[in-house]
Structure 1
Amino acid sequence: MTKAFRLIASTGIHKGDREYQQDQVALLSHPRFNGCVLGVVADGMGGRSGGRKASDQVMLTARQLFERYSPETDDAAALLKHIVEEAHIVIRLTAISAEQEPHSTIAAFVINPRGDCHWAHAGDSRIYHFQGGRLVFRTSDHSYVQALVDRGEITEAEANTHPHSNILVGCLGTESDPPITTHLIPQMQPGDVLLACSDGVWHYFSPAELASVLDSLTPREATEFLIDKARSRARGGGDNLSLAIVKIETLVEEKKPPRLAQLTPAT
């Protein structure tokens, strides 16, 4: 029998030092299946209206497909791939009738009621998995500098300050199909923390810093702290910021059988 747990969660978004907000973030509790959660971060690009249209389309697609998803019979990895592929197609169609070239990243995860967690991403918005104050795994960016890191030509630290750190090699809305990288956590455990965020957040923190913050603060406190600290470190040149945090805790119930999972409403 799967041990009961609860999800404590928070989202945050800030336009940073940009004139307009092109990021979008959502943390959705399934309307029919208790304990089934979808988290999505989308970082839109392509001018003021173009970037926002792209990230909006990612969110609209994600909501629509998630509402039709059944964790009892459907494949979560297939759902995430479908979200990426369908949003990409619609963004491409939008570009045909617009002057802008709308693009977007996506970093999305599904937690099923039984505790398995599935990820998919395209671009440089990230998902991190922490356990007990240490990094277990994170997504690998579809970016030029990540390719340099993978080849051993530069370090992770050097990648953050590289002059071409903003160049993506894959995202939604481009002429070529987006890369879709997936990941599976077979069973979430108490003490696990998920962080999904745009590059406007992760650019300013080492994995050790993120691990420490998420281990010591509640999701809401961590959300506020990370946005404030990123804003401070950007020194007036910060990008849009968006993030979603989910922390797994043991659910303790007395006498009556526990429900499998519950989600504290996101803020």
Structure 2
Amino acid sequence: MNSYKIEAGTAQHIGNRPLQNDRVALLTSARAPGYVLAVLASGLAGGSLASEQVLHTAKLLFDEFKPGDTPTIERVERLLRDIVHEAHLVIRLNGEATQTEPQASCAVLMLTPAHQAVWAHVGDARFYHFQKGACQLRSSDAGYVMHLIATERLAADAARNHRQSKLLVNVLGNSRKQPFVTVGHRPAVTAGDAFLLASDGLWHFFTDTELGAAVHKASPRQSAEMLINKAAERADGKGSNCSMAIIKLVKLVKPAKPAAAPSATTIGSDF
């Protein structure tokens, strides 16, 4: 039987920045029992306004989500896309009202009671999937580069070199472009799987192997503490905001059956 328990946690460190512009959360919903949503948003321009809006929108739409008796992966993917696009719209409206352009990258992950994992990401907030410490998947710009080649008619090298320009940057809140959302899923996750959502203040300083080993060998809290300390050491005073969500699927251990009580023996004595 594919049984596991979820061990999860979030952590943040301001790094060497004056403000903490990232936001991260683990959410549940009364209308979707057994579902867990992890959200990480990394604020870029405009401070924390955009990243706060991502979390607010995620909670609002997740609270309204009714999966029904036989939810499909496609329905969950649609929810994650809706979170991204609605957050983008509100961020843009806020920017117009304040004459600013707040922006954020984000990564979101949904775990379902049917043992499915569904994720989406925009920009340089990264998503990782590990199995017993080995990296099975890491999000990247590859999908966005191919999108640019197909829709902007750019050569591959041009798309890679210019995707960080103000016109082409892939973020929520960009007044010139809709965010390009990369989605993925695993139809059957099991004990030994682990997931990491990370801002660039974390993943920039580690290899996939290092991240997988850290997540695998310790509890989410212990892993987060070690990674934050090591990132600060490697940043050498130049670190960005460092944020993460760690979700581990841990094998359920059946409690040992209690030993049978010894049968009572009556010893009679005559006085």
TM-score by length of 2: 0.81
- Provide Cα deviations, 1:212-239, integer angstroms capped at 9, x if missing partner: 1111111110011111110111111110
What's 2:201 paired with?
Answer: 200
**Per-residue deviation, 1:90:** 0.2
* 1:51 alignment partner, SS class: coil
**Per-residue deviation, 1:45:** 1.5
What's 1:26 paired with?
Answer: 25
What's 2:53 paired with?
Answer: 57
- Provide Cα deviations, 1:88-123, integer angstroms capped at 9, x if missing partner: 000000110113210011100100111101011111
**Per-residue deviation, 1:21:** 0.8
**Per-residue deviation, 1:166:** 9.8
What's 1:232 paired with?
Answer: 233
In the TM superposition, 1:76-225 aligns within 5 A as 76-141=76-141, 169-174=169-174, 175-225=176-226
Counterpart AA for 2:102: P
- Provide Cα deviations, 1:158-193, integer angstroms capped at 9, x if missing partner: x9xx9x989872010002100000001111110001
Counterpart AA for 2:191: P
| Alignment partners' CA distance in 1, 2:235 and 2:210 | 16
* 1:173 alignment partner, SS class: coil
| Alignment partners' CA distance in 2, 1:234 and 1:193 | 26
**Counterparts in 2 of 1:42 and 1:97: CA distance versus 1, 3 Å:** same
| Alignment partners' CA distance in 2, 1:212 and 1:165 | 31
What's 2:13 paired with?
Answer: 14
**Per-residue deviation, 1:35:** 2.6
| Alignment partners' CA distance in 2, 1:202 and 1:165 | 18
RMSD: 2.7
* 2:98 alignment partner, SS class: coil
**Counterparts in 2 of 1:152 and 1:223: CA distance versus 1, 3 Å:** farther
What's 1:260 paired with?
Answer: none
| Alignment partners' CA distance in 1, 2:32 and 2:89 | 28
**Counterparts in 2 of 1:31 and 1:252: CA distance versus 1, 3 Å:** farther
**Per-residue deviation, 1:253:** 4.3
Counterpart AA for 1:196: L
What's 1:261 paired with?
Answer: none
Note the residue ranges of structure 1 that are not aligned, 5 or more in a row: 154-158, 256-267
**Per-residue deviation, 1:30:** 2.6
Q: Which has the larger radius of gyration?
A: 2
| Alignment partners' CA distance in 1, 2:248 and 2:191 | 8
| Alignment partners' CA distance in 2, 1:118 and 1:227 | 26
| Alignment partners' CA distance in 1, 2:185 and 2:92 | 29
**Per-residue deviation, 1:34:** 3.7
**Counterparts in 2 of 1:202 and 1:165: CA distance versus 1, 3 Å:** farther
| Alignment partners' CA distance in 1, 2:137 and 2:177 | 28
Note the residue ranges of structure 2 that are not aligned, 5 or more in a row: 149-155, 257-271
| Alignment partners' CA distance in 1, 2:229 and 2:164 | 22
1:70 matches 2:69: no
What's 1:259 paired with?
Answer: none
| Alignment partners' CA distance in 2, 1:71 and 1:110 | 12
**Per-residue deviation, 1:254:** 5.3
Structure 2 contact 121–181 (Cα < 8 Å) conserved: yes
**Counterparts in 2 of 1:198 and 1:141: CA distance versus 1, 3 Å:** farther
Structure 2 contact 194–248 (Cα < 8 Å) conserved: yes
Structure 1 contact 51–104 (Cα < 8 Å) conserved: no
Structure 1 contact 126–141 (Cα < 8 Å) conserved: no
